[in-house]
Amino acid sequence: MTGKASPADEALGYEQARDELIEVVRRLEAGGTSLEESLALWERGEELAKVCRRWLEGARARLDAALAEEAEEAEEDEEGARTSQEK
């Protein structure tokens, strides 16, 4: 495992990666696979989990940025209202 996602993994959307990860987990839990196949599935699951994590971290960053912008705008509106009242 290289720790770096392949270009194909980078192109996966969150839902695609999540759905494939769910299938990998089901196959592992069902058993009946060879050790080699189980290891390959586990490695694939790790890569898919990283893809999902990156998507979720990106979504969190976008939400945080939007909330910070909203708070900044509200603060500016408050300052503007105070300045208008002082005049």
Spell out the CATH class of 7-86: mainly alpha
d(Cα 85, Cα 87) in Å, to the nearest integer?
5
Contacts of 79 (CB under 8 A, 6+ apart): none
Report residue 85's pLDDT band, with 50, 70 and 90 as the boundaries: confident
pLDDT band at residue 61, thresholds of 50, 70 and 90? very high
Residue 3: the pLDDT is: 53
Residue 50: partners with Cβ closer than 8 Å, 6 or more residues away: 5, 9
Strands (E), 12-51: none
8-18 mean pLDDT: 91
For residue 6, what pLDDT band results from cuts at 50, 70 and 90?
confident
Q: Where are the domains of the chain?
A: 7-86
Verdict on whether the full-model pTM lies above 0.85: no
